[in-house]
Amino acid sequence: MQKLNKKITFLNPIFEIFIMYRIPRPTHDLLGRRIKRRKPFKISTKKIEWMRAAGKDPYGSFVKTSRCRKCKRKLTWGGRTYEFDHKNNKEWDNSQKNCYLVCLFCHRKATIVKKVKVKDRISGYTVGYKTIKRKVGYKKSKKRKKKKIKRKKKKSRSPFEITIPRLRI
């Protein structure tokens, strides 16, 4: 207990109580709704996605190089140039279908981060900021066929012909 107290002397006393007595985080909010927290993918899930992105058998021998699912950039296992992202933006869903291997550049393009002010209800002053992440998505845009508009051919007129516009009544 002595070593633990020496390490956290710089922290505030409330946080020390949380660490010393191992008080768990709340699982429900004040209204009784369950708080859904982000869970990281398991290593086995990451390895299967890595092999699928490389185009190999996911249960075969492991390959150290793979490709980004979006831009096909070459990635190496252990390098910090890739991330495993949640496809459907549900961070608590860690299924194999939801795991998606992308490079850092594609991940930054697909995720929009916003800062929103949190105001006190009584005074109206800004108390803090809340970060909101929104997923734009990884789906490829479908190429739309352009519709050809049939235009009427202009009739050749003589320079001496006068046209009178019709009046609608």
Q: Mean pLDDT for each 10-residue chunk of the chain (169 residues)?
A: 47 59 74 79 93 91 92 91 86 88 90 85 85 72 63 65 68
Domain positions in the chain are 2-135
| The predicted structure's pLDDT at residue 113 | 81
Do 54 and 63 form a contact (C-beta atoms < 8 A)?
yes
Q: Which amino acid is at 44?
A: S
Only one residue has tokens 């086995």, namely 44
Q: What is the pLDDT, as a whole number, of residue 122?
A: 86
What pTM does this model have?
Answer: 0.56
Give the pLDDT confidence score for residue 65 in this predicted structure. Answer: 94
**Residue at token pair 């002053």:** 125
Task: Find all residues with CB under 8 Å of 42, minimum gap 6, and list them.
Answer: 94
Q: What is the pLDDT of residue 50?
A: 94
pLDDT at residue 1 in the model? 45
State in Å, rounded, how far the first CA of the chain is from the last one. 96
- Cα 18 from Cα 16, distance rounded (Å): 5
